[in-house]
């Protein structure tokens, strides 16, 4: 009887391991650069300065993380989604330190001359002073989270009609 209990326990452990790890909405994802793909465009994510992620709440305590190769694509995804998804967390990379930041507290630089993977020209920074310096360097503007959401939403609606 003891062997059956041990086998059953091992089987349950094995099955639970196959189910995949639960997603914690407070922890940014680990991206395998050069392998993971953007959930918006399907391109390989290769530049950590511009990578971003969303954590969506699919059901109570059931989360899914979406990866993006360009923060602009993350904002465009949300604009296209029209509030259908419940967003639990936003993550962007600091352009200088390349560390994850909470998207809602980051400062954003929008500059046409800033080359990003999908051409949105958006970089995120932790500090406003660093954002101002980068904006001056690239001839861009500094935006808050709400402002970049509004701008990219407008850019995406123009792009979907063939305008740029």
Domain boundaries, the chain: 23-160
Name the one residue in this structure whose structure tokens are 């990866």: 67
Give me the pLDDT at residue 13, please.
42
Contact yes or no for 103/55 (Cβ under 8 A): no
Backbone torsion region of residue 119, taken as left when φ is above 0, otherwise alpha when ψ lies between -120 and 50, otherwise beta: left
Whether the predicted pLDDT of 2 surpasses 90: no
Q: Which one has a higher pLDDT value, 31 or 83?
A: 31
- 3 state DSSP class of 48: coil
Whether the predicted pLDDT of 7 surpasses 70: no
Q: How confident is the model at residue 1 (pLDDT cuts 50, 70, 90)?
A: low
What are the E-state strand segments in 38-110? Answer: 52-59, 62-68, 86-93, 100-102, 107-110
CA 57 to chain centroid, in Å, comes to: 14
Name the one residue in this structure whose structure tokens are 């509030």: 83
Which CATH number does the domain 23-160 belong to among 1.10.3720.10, 3.40.50.1220, 3.40.50.11540, 3.30.450.410?
Answer: 3.30.450.410
Q: How confident is the model at residue 157 (pLDDT cuts 50, 70, 90)?
A: very low
Phi, psi of 81, rounded to the nearest 5 degrees: -70, -20
Condensed to tens digits (0 to 9), the pLDDT of residues 75-113 reads: 999 988 877 889 999 999 999 999 999 999 999 999 999
CA distance 131 to 135: 6
Give me the pLDDT at residue 4, please.
53
Contact yes or no for 101/139 (Cβ under 8 A): no
Residues 7-27: what's their mean pLDDT? Answer: 57
**What does pLDDT average to over the chain?**
84
Residues 62-67: what's their mean pLDDT? Answer: 95
Q: How confident is the model at residue 70 (pLDDT cuts 50, 70, 90)?
A: very high
Give me the pLDDT at residue 11, please.
43
Condensed to tens digits (0 to 9), the pLDDT of residues 104-156 reads: 999 999 999 999 999 999 999 999 999 999 999 999 999 999 999 988 876 64
CA 114 to chain centroid, in Å, comes to: 19
């Amino acid at each position: 009887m003891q062997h059956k209990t041990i086998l059953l326990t091992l089987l349950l452990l094995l099955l639970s391991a196959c189910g995949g790890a639960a997603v914690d909405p407070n922890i940014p994802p680990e991206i395998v650069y050069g392998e993971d793909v953007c959930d918006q465009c399907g391109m390989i994510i290769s530049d950590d300065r511009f990578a971003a992620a969303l954590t969506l709440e699919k059901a109570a305590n059931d989360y899914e993380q979406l990866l993006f190769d360009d923060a602009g694509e993350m904002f465009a995804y949300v604009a296209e989604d029209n509030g259908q998804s419940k967003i639990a967390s936003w993550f962007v990379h600091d352009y200088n330190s390349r560390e994850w930041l909470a998207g809602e507290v980051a400062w954003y630089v929008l500059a046409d001359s800033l080359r990003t993977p999908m051409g949105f020209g958006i970089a995120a920074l932790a500090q406003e002073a660093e954002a101002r310096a980068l904006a001056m360097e690239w001839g861009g503007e500094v935006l808050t989270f709400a402002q970049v959401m509004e701008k990219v939403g407008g850019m995406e609606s123009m792009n979907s009609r063939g305008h740029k």
